[in-house]
Structure 1
Amino acid sequence: MEISHKIDLTDGSSCTVYYDQLPGWLRAVWLGYVDAAEAYAGVSRLLEIEQRLHCPYLLNDNSGLRGPWFDSMEWLERVWLPRAAALGLRYVAHVPQPDELAGETAAMHYAHLPADLEIQVFDTLAHAEQWLREMQAAQPA
């Protein structure tokens, strides 16, 4: 299992990105106050791993973030999501910070996503994991 773990020694924030073999999906876990440079580095590492694995499933866990998330929706829509979809990403289960659920759900509703990519926002990690399992089960063998 390949793990990319970066800790900001100034404030303890971190981003861990890895392929979780047992369920068969990529996992990104964000903790603490992640500034814009850390966020871009983390999503870049996600693309690097996706380029090697072509995994259709991603669990993006922002539930441990604190403070404002970098202003990235336009860049994610325009740059990151199309690249990730071109590499094979098809299903993203996103768990936002607890106080950001409504806002991020609305943002995803209005986002211009690649046609072959589905993103769902969940209030708990368990619900996100269940949805990814359902998406895997729905795929032809």
Structure 2
Amino acid sequence: MAQRILHEAPFLTISYNYTDEWLYLDWHGKLDDEVVMDGAIKLLELLQQEHCTKILNDNTRVSGLWADAAKWGGDVFFPQLYAAGCRYFSWVHSPERYSQLSAELAMQQTNAGIIFMAFDDLGPAAEWLRSM
């Protein structure tokens, strides 16, 4: 898989997958509102830079509750992401329940126009995104 790291931070690595033409977000650690919002803003910048329409958002190594960032994501961030060209967002849930709840809140909160699908495993999440 031809992939290039575009951004590396303590809680988030963002790569561009040239084979599938999507941004891959690998979140890790205990997240909070500030970390999630900072990562989201970086994602928006990179999506505009790479001109892609798909995001594979991997939360399998994440814990923490970030409900305020989830609300902000739904109200503010996802509409900006849509305006920047994102159309498909494949979200792999954290095994940790509080993080799952935050993710679900973010997806339910928005009417941005992005098609979201949530998964428990990376494989099916990637397959769905490839089919779009």
Larger radius of gyration: 1
Tell me what 1:114 maps to.
Answer: 112
CA distance in 2, matches of 1:107, 1:52: 28
Task: Report the alpha carbon displacement of residue 104 of structure 1 after superposing the two structures with TM.
Answer: 6.2
Compute the RMSD of aligned alpha carbons.
Answer: 2.1
Q: Which residue, 65, 82, 93 being the options, matches 2:62?
A: 65
Equivalent position SS for 1:23: coil
Segments of 5+ residues of structure 1 without an aligned counterpart are 8-13, 136-141
The percent identity for this pair of structures is: 28
CA distance in 2, matches of 1:35, 1:48: 21
Q: Which residue of 1 aligns with 2:82?
A: 85
**Cα distance, 1:107 vs structure 2:** 3.7
Q: Is the 8 A contact 1:108 1:119 kept in 2?
A: no
In structure 2, relative to structure 1, the CA distance for the partners of 1:73 and 1:37 (3 Å cut) is: closer
5+ residue gaps, structure 2, are: none
The C-alpha deviation readout for 1:52-86, integer Å capped at 9, x for no partner, is 122110000011012x2311222111111000000
Letter in 1 for 2:44: L
Q: How many residues align?
A: 127
1:51 maps to: 48
Normalised TM-score (structure 2): 0.85
Partners of 1:109 and 1:44 in 2: how far apart? 17
Rate the CA distance shift 1:51–1:112 in 2: closer, same or farther, 3 A: same
C-alpha separation between the residues in 1 aligned to 2:89 and 2:107? 14
